[in-house]
């Protein structure tokens, strides 16, 4: 009987179905595991192939740069070594037309090479994009979701900033960005909660109420006992490696002056004790009888909005006399200028603090010398080119056939069409920065054929509005973004990227984030 029951149980239809289902599930599981393994292997192979291509590209570029300027080498590489750059223009046009209404991709392609820019600027490709953007902007204006000063649709602007951000990241940070919904999947302000109605806490040091993310993790509990201090009261704005400026210093001076002479802002600016760093490495004056070139911080009104009070940080290093090799026509070899700016950006110097660099633009000072407008620089062509770039320098010649470009301009003589200036929102009270160039003669040496090059770095940090004089000053949101990350404890959250100590990464922890926070909203701004 026992054997008969066992056989009956074995031959039961429900038993067979359960067993069959179990076998099917196990088979599907094995197949899924095998498919996942194949996909992982494919990803590894693709990554290895991509690294190999990048290495090959870098080796080719380095080889080209032995005989020509890096700017020329990049153009030669695009023309002679880039697989897509070597395609016939007829085929490139077909590819561009196939992209259709992918505005973001077309916008990015316009910026990678002269060929793509010329082709995309053709009316049948670019004009429909402009019309589409204009219609979308008008729709947004009517809904009140975009300001009249925005040049791009918000969604496109955000996605473009995310691409630029990711493009310059190290492999570790890129892996964070690839996680759906992870900390790198969006550009967010580290001092604001994602929830617009987030918790706000009161700071016992400055008396302000701020978002919970503007406090260190140890002070984010609403029922915390003891003193609670916001990050703005703990951190400091950096002038150089040796000097930091805390909020209490600025707030104390303004509060004291407004009690004595309310409304006299110019007097407040004039009586502020200018903060300077007297480290010998910062003094680059040409002669001993000139004023030292110390980096300094002072209060002033914002350049484009005098109703705003800013802390202005500046440094004006001098190149020194007779350090450049002037070629016929008064032009300077571009490598000599790059070497000068690299010296300004050495460890401990203020240039990297006042005008941070980005992986896509490691020497933003060179932006002052636009090769399409500037006549001041000479770019070595090497064996791959017999004539200069198609730029302003190619046509700006005097009757004798010599280039008439001068190394920067002075008040008496302007022969170069470039402004020798590069700005990032400077003068608007939004943590802007700028750099400008001018030729300089030391006292008594004005008649020298060549003086030195004076580079002026400036950065401003919003302190308050002039209308705030009748109430207690509290740290601005811009002050939080301007602080040196090494001077305050970073709050822990799940939606900002982890700290990165790789200086070559776009997410390097001391590099300002590409965000501008206005009226409780944070949006990306263009990095250049």
* pLDDT value, residue 56: 85
What are the residue boundaries of the structural domains of the chain, listed by start?
Answer: 2-66, 74-151, 245-490
* pLDDT value, residue 196: 56
What residues contact residue 413 under an 8 Å CB cut-off, 6+ apart?
Answer: 406
Q: How confident is the model at residue 197 (pLDDT cuts 50, 70, 90)?
A: low
Q: How confident is the model at residue 142 (pLDDT cuts 50, 70, 90)?
A: very low
Question: Which segments within 316-418 are labelled E, that is strand?
Answer: 332-333, 377-378
Q: How confident is the model at residue 482 (pLDDT cuts 50, 70, 90)?
A: very high
| Rounded CA separation 118/99 (Å) | 16
Q: Mean pLDDT throughout 234-239?
A: 95
Structure tokens at 463: 């302190």
Q: Mean pLDDT throughout 180-193?
A: 66
Count helices and strands (H / E) in the chain: 16, 14
Choose between 1 and 61: higher pLDDT.
61
Query: Does the pLDDT at position 436 exceed 90?
Result: yes
Average pLDDT over the chain reads 79
* pLDDT value, residue 248: 94
Q: How far is CA 483 from CA 348, 441, 488, 510, in A?
A: 17, 36, 8, 9
Q: What is the dihedral of CA 38, 40, 45, 48, to 10 degrees?
A: -170
Query: Does the pLDDT at position 365 exceed 70?
Result: yes
* pLDDT value, residue 391: 42
Q: How confident is the model at residue 447 (pLDDT cuts 50, 70, 90)?
A: low
Q: What is the pLDDT of residues 301-324, one digit of tens each?
A: 998 899 999 999 999 999 988 888
**Counting Cβ atoms within 10 Å, is residue 166 exposed (0-12), middle (13-18) or buried (19+)?**
middle
Q: What is the pLDDT of residues 81-133, one digit of tens each?
A: 888 888 899 999 999 888 877 888 888 888 788 888 899 888 888 888 777 66
| Rounded CA separation 394/499 (Å) | 46
Query: Does the pLDDT at position 201 exceed 70?
Result: yes
Q: How confident is the model at residue 393 (pLDDT cuts 50, 70, 90)?
A: very low
Q: What is the dihedral of CA 462, 465, 466, 468, to 10 degrees?
A: -130
Choose between 350 and 516: higher pLDDT.
350
């Amino acid at each position: 009987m026992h054997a008969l029951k066992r056989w009956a149980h074995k031959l039961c239809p429900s038993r067979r179905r359960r067993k069959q289902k179990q076998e099917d599930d196990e088979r599907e599981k094995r197949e899924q595991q095998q498919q996942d393994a194949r996909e992982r292997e494919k990803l590894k192979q693709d990554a290895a192939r991509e690294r190999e291509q990048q290495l090959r590209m870098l080796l080719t570029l380095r080889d080209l740069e032995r005989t020509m300027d890096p700017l020329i080498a990049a153009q030669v590489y695009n023309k002679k070594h880039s697989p897509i750059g070597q395609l016939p223009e007829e085929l490139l046009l077909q590819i561009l037309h196939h992209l259709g209404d992918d505005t973001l991709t077309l916008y990015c392609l316009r910026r990678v090479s002269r060929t793509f820019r010329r082709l995309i600027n053709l009316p049948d490709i670019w004009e429909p994009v402009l019309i589409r953007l204009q219609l979308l902007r008008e729709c947004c204006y009517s809904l009140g979701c975009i300001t009249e000063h925005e040049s791009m649709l918000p969604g496109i602007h955000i996605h473009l900033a995310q691409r630029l951000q990711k493009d310059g990241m190290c492999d570790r940070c890129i892996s964070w960005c690839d996680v759906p919904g992870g900390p790198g999947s969006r550009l967010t302000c580290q001092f604001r909660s994602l929830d617009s109605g987030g918790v706000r806490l009161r700071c016992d040091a400055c008396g302000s109420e701020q978002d919970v993310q503007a406090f260190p993790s140890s002070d984010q509990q609403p029922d915390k006992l003891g003193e609670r201090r916001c990050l703005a009261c703990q951190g400091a704005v950096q002038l150089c490696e040796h000097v930091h400026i805390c909020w209490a210093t600025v707030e104390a001076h303004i509060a004291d002056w407004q009690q004595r002479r309310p409304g006299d802002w110019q007097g407040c600016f004039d009586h502020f004790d200018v903060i300077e760093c007297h480290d010998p490495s910062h003094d680059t004056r040409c002669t001993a009888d000139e004023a030292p070139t110390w980096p300094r911080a002072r209060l002033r009104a914002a350049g484009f909005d005098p109703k705003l009070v800013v802390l202005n940080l500046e440094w004006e290093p001098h190149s020194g006399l007779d350090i450049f090799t002037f070629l016929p026509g008064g032009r300077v070899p571009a490598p000599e200028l790059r070497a000068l700016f690299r010296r300004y950006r050495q460890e401990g110097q203020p240039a990297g603090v006042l005008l941070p660099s980005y992986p896509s633009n490691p020497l933003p000072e060179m932006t002052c010398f636009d090769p399409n407008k500037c006549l001041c620089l000479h770019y070595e062509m090497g064996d791959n080119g017999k004539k200069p770039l198609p730029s302003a320098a190619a046509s700006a010649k005097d009757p004798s056939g010599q280039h008439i470009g001068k190394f920067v301009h002075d008040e008496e003589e302007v022969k170069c069409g470039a402004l020798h200036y590069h700005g990032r929102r400077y003068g608007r009270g939004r943590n802007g920065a700028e750099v400008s160039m001018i030729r300089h003669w030391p006292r008594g040496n004005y008649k020298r054929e060549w003086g030195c090059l004076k580079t002026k770095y400036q950065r401003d940090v919003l302190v308050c509005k002039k209308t705030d004089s009748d109430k207690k000053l509290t740290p601005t949101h811009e002050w939080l973004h301007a602080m040196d990350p090494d001077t305050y404890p970073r709050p822990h959250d799940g939606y900002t990227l982890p700290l990165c100590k790789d200086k070559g990464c776009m997410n390097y922890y001391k590099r300002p984030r590409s965000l501008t926070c206005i009226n409780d909203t944070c949006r990306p701004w263009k990095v250049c």
